Amino acid sequence: MPAIVNLFSFLAEQPGFSETVTFDQLSQFIGLASSIKNDILAAQPPTHDPNDPPLLLAPHQRVFLTQTCNIPLEFIDHCWLAVREMVWRKTVEEGARLNDHQFEAWYTGRDFQLSGQTLWPPTQQCTNTNCPSTQLLRERDGIFPVTLFTLRNGARATYSTYLTCGGM
């Protein structure tokens, strides 16, 4: 993880960034982007290495982060480049995914089929030992709406995914 001085000097490289984007907005960006890591990965080409944070976000992810972090769209790409390593290494604790802290953001997420609780398979690559493919698993039918029943927070509207391997 870079020293904070490196992070802020990188952010300041884009004219207007430091004067426009607040620390709270940046913090919100890191939190939300960390919760949609699987979505970010699913939008990459199948040859993408899942250990590397991608260089670019998909268009709907950029618009989602603009709206929920109140960061102008022109700064979103630079913001992502600055924190992508941090986002990629960050582990999102299961309980935190279900708290109501970012409830409004996830309400907006419905417009983009993005949710902090989307159910993804635990692996991004094929687990069949006979399979030669090292590519990323792909969504077979897109993501679909489901209701998640939780002990603490009751029923929650979210999404589920079905990933499939193209190797065999």
44 makes contact with Zn ion (CB under 5 A): no
Residue 67, burial from CB neighbour count under 10 angstroms (0-12, 13-18, 19+)? middle
| Distance separating alpha carbons of residues 9 and 7, to the nearest angstrom | 6
131 touching Zn ion, by CB under 5 A: yes
Name the residue nearer to Zn ion (CB basis): 41 or 126: 126
Residue 11 found at the interface with Zn ion (CB under 5 A): no
Q: How far is the CB of 41 from Zn ion (least distance, A)?
A: 17
Is residue 125 close enough to count as binding Zn ion by CB under 5 A?
no
Under the binding rule (CB under 5 A), the answer on residue 167 touching Zn ion is: yes
**What residues have CB less than 8 Å from 101, skipping those under 6 apart?**
none
**CA–CA separation, 141 and 162 (whole Å):** 7
Min separation Cβ 135 and Zn ion, Å:
9
Enumerate binding residues for Zn ion (CB under 5 A): 126, 128, 131, 133, 165, 167
